[in-house]
Structure 1
Amino acid sequence: MPEPYDPLQPGDKEAIAPTGAGGAMDLALEEAESLEKPLGGGPGSPGPGTKARSLWSDAWHQLRRNPVFVVSALLIAFLVVIAIWPQLIASGDPLQCDLSKSQQGSAPGHPFGYDTQGCDVYTRTVYGARASITVGVCATLGAALLGSLLGGLAGFFGGWGDATLSRVADIFFGIPVILGGLVFLSVVTSTTVWPVVGFIVLLGWPQIARIARGSVITAKQNDYVQAARALGAGNTRLLLRHVAPNAVAPVIVVATIALGTYIALEATLSFLGVGLRPPTVSWGIDISNAASQIRNAPHMLLWPAGALSITVLAFIMLGDAVRDALDPKLR
């Protein structure tokens, strides 16, 4: 008697057979995860036989060819190096002053001249990068971590937690930054950078939280997230494996641009006398000391203000380049 026709070959049966107790679920989850990979066929998609680039590798491919990114990245790298090792280009002591040379112009070995106290403006400008960049980097990391955590959880779970976070963020948005700094920092007696960092994080996290919340809400509605949820993936796996990697790009862009803004905010608060305080060397302190002598000794204001402007501009340019690389609509 002839055997019944079986459309599956023996090799096909082995291919679809689960290899363990959870084999079917593992294969289904792998299929859901594969939906995250970009499909070929677009204008910039790789040809047959070429491995498709991920979002991050494609962004790096774009950034390497962007002159704005290259220039700003090199400038920021130089500023970070001199902030860590200012002795590489400045051999003097920023706190060593000679009143007999007060407000004198440039001299051999002192190209930027002297300030009111007779301190070398060049040395103080170089050493001022340390405090400003430290405040900017630490404040950005703190605001980004706190805002991403709160905003991401609120956007993913929703409900009363999301509503509470939105109302709290609205309260912080209503606080004027300069006025808040004058009130908050005027009662602080510490001369370190940490009170300023804490204040900036306190007022900076709501912006990051709002961006993270909106990005997570958009990402969790994608088909691959719904498919993984339908196949039994838990909230932890969905958030860490599927949602967070696809929602972090806007946060990185906003944090990069905010870093330059935080450096300018630190200089503003130091200029007003409530930010960093002597003996800390800061561009804001030097600008404040030079403001009253701008007619008699403009060089005292020119160099620290120029260094501050270049630093802020470099971080803003870097953020713009990263935004263009991570947002396909802007290419």
Structure 2
Amino acid sequence: MTDQQQMDLRKDEVEAGTTTGLASPSVDPLSSRQNSLWSDAWGALKRNPLFWIGSVLTALLVVVALFPQLFVRGADPRACDLANSKALPSAQHWFGYDQQGCDYMANVVYGARNSLIIGIFAVVVVLLLGVVVGAIAGYFGGFVDGIMSRIADIFYALPLILGALVLLRVGPTTDIPILNTRGPGAVALALALFGWMTAMRLVRSQVIAVKSSDYVAAARAMGASNSRILIRHILPNAVAPVLVYTTITIGVLIAAEATLTYLGVGLQRPAISWGLQIAAGQDLIRTAPHLVLFPSIVLTLTVMAFILMGDALRDALDPRQRA
């Protein structure tokens, strides 16, 4: 084959998008890095026993919340008989009875639903606020960043529990429908409004670190809009730290809900909640310690499950941990 024929063949291959002995399609470097990151992370997670412990406990909690009747053998948490008041655990009733003579295991099991609803709803609102505010502040910088960062600092000045407590106290006196009654929605919203700042800081720092990258500059030079650059090129790089934060925060918010309910400003009866059960059992801890023990253990295991998964995700997504 002559030199001219070789050159013509080479030109045809390039125009067709192929080269001899090489893969044909071009690969997006950002996509390759992301695929490698998640592949390596999954490999690390599979070898981490803490991740599996947290995952199993979380999966069990979800099943309990969705199908509580499967775990209480048809017992009704609201069917009470004062003759069984404060009866101790037995082979027939593993958690015993509460002060009203209600099956305590049924109450503890049904309490998982409200806790999970509040935790998930609150963290969704946290992510919406944190991602939107953090992305805008980090991308535009300057005056916009300064204003939004100062707003976050104002919310940081109020601790999560104190801020939510004040909001839930004054909520029934306002005209805001969701705050008029202390249901799961009101508690979740109160927690989210005073818990979004860390997510905002995480997203903001990631956006600032990524927005000067070459592929972002190339997208801007090709005429991509600010919203497209944020959504398609910048925010995918903020997924890893936000995912870790989200997992841990669900457990923290569930514990915060139990704390608010225990203090009397969270869920109210006839709602079923671990916080309500602990509050009702505290005065009977000498004669019926199981009324505090069982909901406390379940609450602890629930929070621990999410924290274990969050810690495992953090280690798996940090390249320094795999070096």
Deviation of 1:306 after TM superposition, in Å, equals: 0.3
Residue 228 of structure 2 is aligned to residue 237 of structure 1:
yes
What is the Cα deviation at residue 75 of structure 1? 0.9
Partner residue, 1:11: 9
Q: 164-173 or 189-198: which moved more?
A: 189-198
More displaced stretch, 247-256 vs 225-234:
225-234
Of 106, 109, 126, the match for 1:143: 126
Q: Which moved more, 1:230-239 or 1:91-100?
A: 230-239
**Deviation string, structure 1 residues 171-210 (Cα, Å, up to 9, x no partner):** 0000122322322112335142000011011011111111
Alpha-carbon offset, residue 292 of structure 1: 1.1
Correspondence for 1:196: 187
**Of 247, 264, 275, which aligns to 1:256?**
247
Q: In 1, distance between residues paired with 2:8 and 2:126? A: 58
Q: 1:209 to 1:180 in 2, by over 3 A?
A: same
1:81 aligned partner, one-letter code: V
Aligned counterpart, 2:141: 158
1:37 is matched with: 32
**Identity of counterpart residues, as a percentage?**
47
| Offset from partner CA, 1:53-92 (integer Å, 9 cap, x none) | 5222221222122111111101100110010110011121
Structure 1 consecutive aligned stretches of length 4 or more whose deviation exceeds 6 Å:
5-8
Residue of structure 1 in register with 2:305 after alignment:
314
- 1: CA distance between counterparts of 2:40 and 2:275? 39
The equivalent of 2:22 in structure 1 is none
Is contact 1:154–1:162 with CA below 8 Å preserved after alignment? yes
Which of 55, 58, 63 is residue 73 of structure 1 equivalent to?
55
Q: 1:291 matched to which residue of 2?
A: 282
Query: Is the 1:264–1:312 contact (alpha carbons within 8 Å) kept by the matching residues of 2?
Result: yes
In structure 1, C-alpha distance between the alignment counterparts of 2:286 and 2:107, rounded to whole Å? 20
Instruction: Answer whether contact 1:212 1:247 (CA < 8 A) is retained.
Output: yes
| Cα pair 2:118 2:257 within 8 Å, conserved | yes
Match of 1:278 in 2: 269
SS in 2 for 1:94: coil
- Bigger share in helix: 2
Cα distance in 2 for residues equivalent to 1:155 and 1:53:
25
Rounded Cα–Cα distance in structure 1 between residues aligned with 2:6 and 2:77: 81
8 Å Cα contact 1:32/1:228 also seen in 2: no
CA pair 7-248 structure 1, distance change in 2 beyond 3 A: farther
Structure 1 residue runs without a partner (length 5+): 20-29, 39-51
Structure 2: gaps spanning 5 or more residues: 18-24, 173-179
Tell me the equivalent position of 1:117: 100
Q: Post-superposition shift, 1:227?
A: 3.8
Matched, 1:95 2:78: yes
1:94–1:158 distance in 2 versus 1, CA, 3 Å: same
Question: 36, 41, 55: which one pairs with 2:37?
Answer: 55
CA distance in 1, matches of 2:51, 2:302: 14
Q: Indicate the SS of the match to 2:87.
A: coil
CA shift in 2, pair 1:223/1:96, >3 Å:
same
Letter in 1 for 2:100: Q
The 2-side partners of 1:118 and 1:236 are apart by 58
CA gap of 1:10–1:328, structure 2 versus 1, over 3 A, is: same
140 and 164 in structure 1: CA distance in 2 versus 1, 3 angstrom threshold: same
TM-score of the pair, normalised by structure 1: 0.85
Residues 87-124 of structure 1, C-alpha deviations (whole Å, 9 max, x = no match): 01112111122122211112342111111121111111
The alpha carbon displacement at 1:156 in A equals 1.3
Give the aligned length.
304
Task: Measure, in 2, the Cα distance between the counterparts of 1:330 and 1:222.
Answer: 24
- RMSD over aligned CA atoms reads 2.3
For the structure 1 residues 261 and 138, does the alpha-carbon distance in structure 2 shift closer, same or farther, using more than 3 Å as the test? same
- Name the CA shift for 1:216/1:235 in 2 (closer, same or farther; >3 Å): same
In the superposition, the TM-score normalised over structure 2's length comes to 0.87
Structure 2 residue identity aligned to 1:306: I
Contact 2:182 / 2:267 at 8 angstroms: preserved in 1? Answer: yes
Matched, 1:84 2:79: no
